Amino acid sequence: MRIFQLHRPPHCSTALFHRFRLLGLIGLLLWTVIGTGSAHATDTTGRLKLPPVLLDAAQDHVPLAQRSLFWVDLSGQLTAQDVAQRQDSLPWAVRGPKHRLLINPQAVLWVRFDAWVKDTSAHWEVELTQSGIDRISLYEQRADGSWQAQHAGDSIPVRDWASPDRYPVFALDTRADTPVTYWVRIQHTRVPFSGELFVHRHSHLREQRMTQQFLLGAYFGMALLLTVVAVVNALVFREVSFAAYAIYTSVLGLALAASLGVGGQFLWPHSARWNGMAEFVLLPLVAVVGLLFVRHVVQAQRIGRWLDRLSLTLAGVLMVLTAWDLLRPSSVTLQAITTAGALTMVLVYAMLWTAWRTGERWVHWIALGILPVLMAGTLPILRNLGLMSSGFLSQYGMVIAAAIEAPLLIYGLLQRSSMQHEAQTRANELALTEPLTGLTNRHNGMLRLHDSLVRAQRYRHSMGLLLIDLDNHAWFEQEHGREVADRALVLTGSLLRSVARDVDTAARVDNRSFTLLMEGPVRAAQVVAAATSIVAGGLRPSDQLPVGATLRFKVVLALLPAEGQDLQQDAQAHLNWLRNSLDELCKNKRKSIQTLNF
């Protein structure tokens, strides 16, 4: 039978007729292709129909995107049996891989797919790769006409799920004689639903879970270890920054556990109420704690007064919004929290950038640590706003960022603590040491001399005291300036430390004079040897001094307590006794060492 034939009009030329016929053949071909392509999606009644998902030994998992249909029941009153009976009249549509849908509080999303088990030696399961679903149920009609239902979701304790797991998982029928139609009923409000459905072989899903649990366990174990390290540092060094880090890391870990389903599976499997609200409470709390942590660490003087006040104000607003959402949850409160969370991230960016410009190295490590979490924090915000579908990055992006952040932050805090303790140590040492030479200052030198005199008289042993004068200090300052003169004093301090024993005390007593207290018991020969080493060491050339210049010392030494001198235990009197002899020695240009009582 001829389906299509062109008749040439009598007034048309042969060439024009062939052109019309070619266009007609092309149109016929396109109509045939379009008609053939749409035939697989509808049957003879016009009902949208997809071929069943074949489950055989050649595959381990099958995505249901493009293999399943969806429809939204706006009333939310229909049962699985009602939907099955009315399926021919319902406006089903094919569910794509990046399908996003905001479901009204009263509405219910229905997903339908057919599966045909060809490999009966394996158990097959359907998984929704998203946690935080309010309620999800899988229905199937058995061969005898009865209905079987499996339930999961945050409105049910995880222990009562059909298969307690991180994500909702349901077992499929093992019938192999015919395809089985499954009906998935999903209740999910406030946050757009974009979870993907997969059919897995049971063994493949278990292997996948083991890998995921291993990687998640590695992160949570590292986070716990670093939290313990931070707590120990906070207690030992009394550092509030480490305590703030421990709080921030703990809250972040709990929030990630809630968003990944780990919390419901392991931490609170018996609490449906907390499982449903944990993510909405902990994620804003992470923003608050993180904001206050950054504010405390970088300190107000680095970020400015207005950023400091703005951070406190925004933290308070977030807490109020979270409490409001907890008491009266709605889409409005969620959007308000999401907006405030986005503003918090912008504020943290500004604080870190302002602190970065100070040039302190530890601030750079803190900023580099926070940056990945800030970048990953945009993913749940985009998901809540309906601009991004649920996927690998939206689920695991924060975990990856937190794993990068944790060691960088603890390293930055350790550097910050080290610098602060070093500054505190230097400040404390200033009360005991002389800042230019690093030797004991005059006050503490006199205290130690007094204590040594007491011990020497009590235990009847001798100790040595040397009074050293840098004889050419005035020449250095006059000929080469104050900087070179100070350098000569620093070299003198270094020389005295090298001569002194562990128990001895080298101190600076005035502008150009020093003492070396040699704890007893000592012999006269030891004291003379120390004085000789000092004089000889000063005569050695040094690259730190002008060419040809050396350190010239005058040294007066005595064994204490001095017999025949009524000085008792008066440290200042002993020092004055040596000072009088040193003044006389400085007048003698040829002599460098003077002994007093031996």
Residues 262 and 297 in one domain: yes
85, part of any domain: yes
Chain centre distance of CA 49? 49
Tell me: the pLDDT tens digits for 57-98? 888 999 999 999 999 999 999 999 999 999 999 999 999 988
Residues 401 and 449 in one domain: no
Phi-psi region of 347 (alpha: psi -120 to 50; beta: other; left: phi over 0): alpha
Residue 422, number of CB atoms within 10 A of its CB: 10
Long-range Cβ contacts of 487-491 (<8 Å, 24+ apart): 487/544, 487/545, 488/545, 488/551, 489/436, 489/437, 490/436, 490/437, 491/542, 491/544, 491/545, 491/551
Here the tokens at position 401 are 């960022």
Question: Which helix or strand (DSSP H or E) is residue 464 part of?
Answer: strand 463-470
Cα R_g (the chain), whole angstroms: 42
Residues 247 and 317 in one domain: yes
Residues 341 and 424 in one domain: yes
Between 446 and 420, where is the model more confident?
Answer: 446
Per the CB < 8 A criterion, the answer to whether 80 and 145 are in contact is no
Residues 261 and 174 in one domain: no
Tell me: the pLDDT tens digits for 487-507? 999 999 999 999 999 999 999
45, part of any domain: no
- 340 has a pLDDT exceeding 90: yes
Here the tokens at position 52 are 């069943």
Could you give the strand order of the β-sheet that contains 593-595, starting from the edge strand earlier in sequence? 505-508, 513-518, 463-470, 553-560, 593-595
175, part of any domain: yes
Q: In sequence order, what DSSP letters do the residues of 204-229 get, joined into one string?
A: HHHHHHHHHHHHHHHHHHHHHHHHHH
Per the CB < 8 A criterion, the answer to whether 398 and 438 are in contact is no
Burial (0-12, 13-18, 19+ Cβ within 10 Å), 189? middle
572, part of any domain: yes
Residues 405 and 458 in one domain: no
Beta bridge partners of 139: 149, 183
Residues 198 and 276 in one domain: no
Per the CB < 8 A criterion, the answer to whether 122 and 186 are in contact is no
Q: Which residue bears the tokens 């130690």? A: 448
Torsion of CA 63, 64, 66, 67, to 10 degrees: 120
Sort strands 93-94 and 108-117 into parallel, antiparallel or unpaired.
unpaired
- 36 has a pLDDT exceeding 60: no
Residues 245 and 292 in one domain: yes
Average pLDDT over residues 285-303: 89
Question: Which helix or strand (DSSP H or E) is residue 288 part of?
Answer: helix 272-298
- 365 has a pLDDT exceeding 90: yes
Residues 447 and 581 in one domain: yes
320, part of any domain: yes
Average pLDDT over residues 460-469: 95
Residues 450 and 557 in one domain: yes
**Domain span holding position 21:** 1-39
Residues 34 and 181 in one domain: no
- 396 has a pLDDT exceeding 80: yes
Between 427 and 447, where is the model more confident?
Answer: 447
Give the pLDDT band of residue 110 (cuts 50, 70, 90).
Answer: very high
CATH number for the domain including 554?
A: 3.30.70.270
Here the tokens at position 31 are 């109509």
Give the pLDDT band of residue 386 (cuts 50, 70, 90).
Answer: confident
Three-state secondary structure call for residue 118:
coil
Among residues 222, 241, 225, 224, the alpha carbon closest in space to that of 233 is found at 241
Give the pLDDT band of residue 427 (cuts 50, 70, 90).
Answer: low
CATH number for the domain including 187?
A: 2.60.40.2380
* Number of domains comprising the chain: 4
Among residues 483, 468, 445, the alpha carbon closest in space to that of 551 is found at 468
Give the pLDDT band of residue 143 (cuts 50, 70, 90).
Answer: confident
- 30 has a pLDDT exceeding 70: no
212, part of any domain: no
pLDDT at 57: 86
- 342 has a pLDDT exceeding 80: yes
Prior bond of 521 cis (ω within 30°): yes
Percent of the chain with pLDDT over 90: 74
Q: What distance in Å separates the CA atoms of residue 250 and residue 242, rounded to the nearest whole number?
A: 12
Sign of CA dihedral 562, 568, 571, 574: negative
Per the CB < 8 A criterion, the answer to whether 223 and 253 are in contact is yes
Q: Which of 179, 205, 231 is the last residue of a domain?
A: 205
Q: What distance in Å separates the CA atoms of residue 581 and residue 513, rounded to the nearest whole number?
A: 13
90, part of any domain: yes
Give the pLDDT band of residue 235 (cuts 50, 70, 90).
Answer: very high
Prior bond of 561 cis (ω within 30°): yes
- 300 has a pLDDT exceeding 80: no
Residues 366 and 266 in one domain: yes
213, part of any domain: no
Residue 339, number of CB atoms within 10 A of its CB: 14
